[in-house]
Amino acid sequence: MSLIVLDTDVASRLFRRRLTTSLTSEFAGHTLAITFVTLGEMTKWTLVRNWGLRERSKLDGFVRDLAVLPYGKKVARRWGELQAYAQLRGRPRPQNDTWIAACCLVRDIPLATLNRKDFVNFAEHEGLRLIDES
């Protein structure tokens, strides 16, 4: 079974059961994953939004069913390259989006996102494979 990485927006909507059928149909037969960045962002939400124990437990259960891609030396180096190339092209990218792209590119895994514009630069110039609603 091949992996598909969920961008934070997709993971959030999937968790809340608000993801479109057209996108969820793309996930059939695949193992779903998130990056360490998405895990961090979702954890932050639980604290900032003052989630109760029940909601935090639901999130823990949701994450338990996903693979979580870690950072490492290859990912860190790829992040540095992506940041440099984007800056040299005059299109600096947000750090978290770049971390997510680096995790996917190092492992050659497609990224499911609802924010294509955030990753299209990586797709056009670096070969990031995107899965979206279009």
- Model pLDDT for residues 76-133, shown as the tens digit of each residue: 999 999 999 999 999 999 999 999 999 999 999 999 999 999 999 999 999 999 998 7
Q: Are 7 and 112 in contact (CB under 8 A)?
A: yes
Which CATH number goes with the domain that contains 126?
3.40.50.1010
Q: Are 122 and 105 in contact (CB under 8 A)?
A: yes
Task: Residue 79: name the closest of 113, 37, 34 by CA.
Answer: 37
pTM for the full predicted model? 0.93
Distance CA 58, CA 3 (A): 23
Q: For the chain, how many structural domains are there in total? A: 1
> Who contacts 69 (Cβ-Cβ below 8 Å, separation ≥6)?
5, 33, 34, 35, 36, 103, 107, 109
At residue 132, the pLDDT reads 85
* Residue 42: domain span: 3-131
